[in-house]
Structure 1
Amino acid sequence: MNRIKTCLVLISLIIISGCKPSVKTKNEFYIVGQMKDVMWKGKLGPSIQLDTIKNTQGLYGLGPVSYLSGELLINDGQTYVSRVTSDSTMSVEKNNTISAPFFVYSNVKDWKIVDLPLEIQSIVQLQNFITDNSKDLKKPFTFKLKGKVSKATIHIQNLPKGSKVSSPKEAHQGQVNYKIFDEDCTIVGFYSENHQGIFTHHDSYLHMHLITDDEQKMGHLDDVKFEKIQLYLPKN
């Protein structure tokens, strides 16, 4: 009798497990190296080779080029490298055979799209808006914005070769700022309330890189005024 009961229980468990809906894999999130080690300890050399990232489906990432010689962005699986060519010009190329001293990246499967309110007109306001609208999200996470900016300031690291770094001031030697006006663009960002000095600056929850739709300009986003833009937040 006990054997019959055991068999019935096993059959029931098999039927129940077979009826369960499939569970989606959560968005994958990776951090390599630390911003503070680059800025304060001068760890400028490679911590990751980007071509070793095997899963490029829905892949997003950002960081500086090793030895702070440029900026890196992965936008939906495509890797971009920007470098300073002059005080007013830059080069942007597609190239994943490149390395970074610190890098944050993730694979995002699905997005929830929100129209960014017109009153959001600064990075601080954007951060507050994302904080208020991401309470149900597992953190840290990737986000992006797509649309038009009326103006923005981006920078590219351009540390002179052979430089030694032991402070943020020294790390930003050679940095060049670029102004952008009335451009359609994509901004890829990473949000965390607990990774300041790791992949965000000490006074921010955000790290963002902007690339224009014509792929002629790309860099770290320092300042922005939005015109008409949509915010993409990941679905858990």
Structure 2
Amino acid sequence: MKNLNLLPILFYIFVGCQLNAQMPKVHSIGSMKDMGSTYDLHVLLDTISPKSHLYGMGPYDRMKGEITVVDGKPYFATAFEEGKYQVSTEWDIQSPFFVYADVKEWKVFKITSSFNCVKGIQDVVASIAQANGYDLQKPFPFIIKGAFDELTAHIVTPRNPEVEGYREGVKSQKFTFGDTQGELVGFYSENHQGVFTHANSFVHIHFLKKDKTFMGHLDEISTKSSSYKLYLPKRK
């Protein structure tokens, strides 16, 4: 009987160890809610280490564009002219807030789903992560790769006249793509609203086209049921 009484304790220890195995650690510097109207810079990307398997995102400079780092390669996008965008790669860039993680290995889940909004992506990621032992109270990065029927992403533009690329009354530019391939790079957190996710969301997602010619913050998505690959950090 004594051994039987130990079973519930051992079960909870096992479950606790499984949840604590979620890695890697997500780091954040600065926050959305503290940017104010000056958008002070808090991180130089070149100072982040290690870089070889870094994933991260945030605004480029003082709202001059978007930054996404994918497997150690930094992309930053600007949209200074109407209807035009440009994607470059460089480590010597800064951001008012930035979230990042070093992910050496991923676990791949093949999923079949339709996405009709960003919240739908959030729900699918949370459901699969929780079903596979991830602790949703701890932040984690994720990637979804595939072909998307239609999506819209924006690139922020400067809000202050003294910043390069400023245009009065323009805070961002939206771009819509149909039948496009690429990856949705995101971070999930139920405890960082206003820090690196918006106040009404648990996810911050950027879209990077497969050919790397466009990158921006995901606003809208509409896809029929299709097959995708969801990548979650491999737990040790």
- Could you state the TM-score of these two structures normalised by the residue count of structure 2? 0.80
- Amino acid in structure 1 at the alignment position of 2:196: F
Cα distance in 2 between the residues matched to 1:182 and 1:201: 27
> Structure 1 86/43 Cα, relative in aligned 2: closer, same or farther at 3 Å?
closer
- Match of residue 179 from structure 1: 176
- Amino acid in structure 1 at the alignment position of 2:234: K
- Match of residue 139 from structure 2: 140
C-alpha deviations, 1:178-199, integer Å up to 9, x for none?
A: 1111111011100000110000
The answer (yes or no) to whether the contact 2:54–2:72 under 8 Å persists in 1 is: yes
Aligned counterparts, 1:24-173, within 5 A:
26-38=23-35, 41-135=36-130, 136-138=133-135, 139-162=138-161, 173=170
The answer (yes or no) to whether the contact 2:141–2:233 under 8 Å persists in 1 is: yes
- Amino acid in structure 1 at the alignment position of 2:231: Y
- Amino acid in structure 1 at the alignment position of 2:198: H
Report the CA distance between 1:163 and its aligned residue.
7.2
SS at match of 1:116: strand
Report the CA distance between 1:86 and its aligned residue.
2.5
SS at match of 1:68: coil
SS at match of 1:128: helix
Cα distance in 2 between the residues matched to 1:187 and 1:106: 16
Report the CA distance between 1:91 and its aligned residue.
0.4
Report the CA distance between 1:98 and its aligned residue.
0.3
Report the CA distance between 1:161 and its aligned residue.
3.4
SS at match of 2:200: coil
C-alpha deviations, 1:112-151, integer Å up to 9, x for none?
A: 2122323343321211111222222242000011111111
Report the CA distance between 1:49 and its aligned residue.
0.2
For structure 2, the 5+ residue unaligned runs are 1-20, 164-168
- Could you state the TM-score of these two structures normalised by the residue count of structure 1? 0.80
Larger Rg: 1
Poorly superposed stretches of 4+, deviation over 6 Å? none
Aligned counterparts, 1:191-206, within 5 A:
191-206=188-203
For structure 1, the 5+ residue unaligned runs are 1-23, 165-171
The answer (yes or no) to whether the contact 1:149–1:229 under 8 Å persists in 2 is: no
How many residues align structurally? 204
Aligned counterparts, 1:200-219, within 5 A:
200-219=197-216
SS at match of 2:112: coil
- Amino acid in structure 1 at the alignment position of 2:145: K
| CA RMSD after TM alignment | 2.0
- Match of residue 4 from structure 2: none
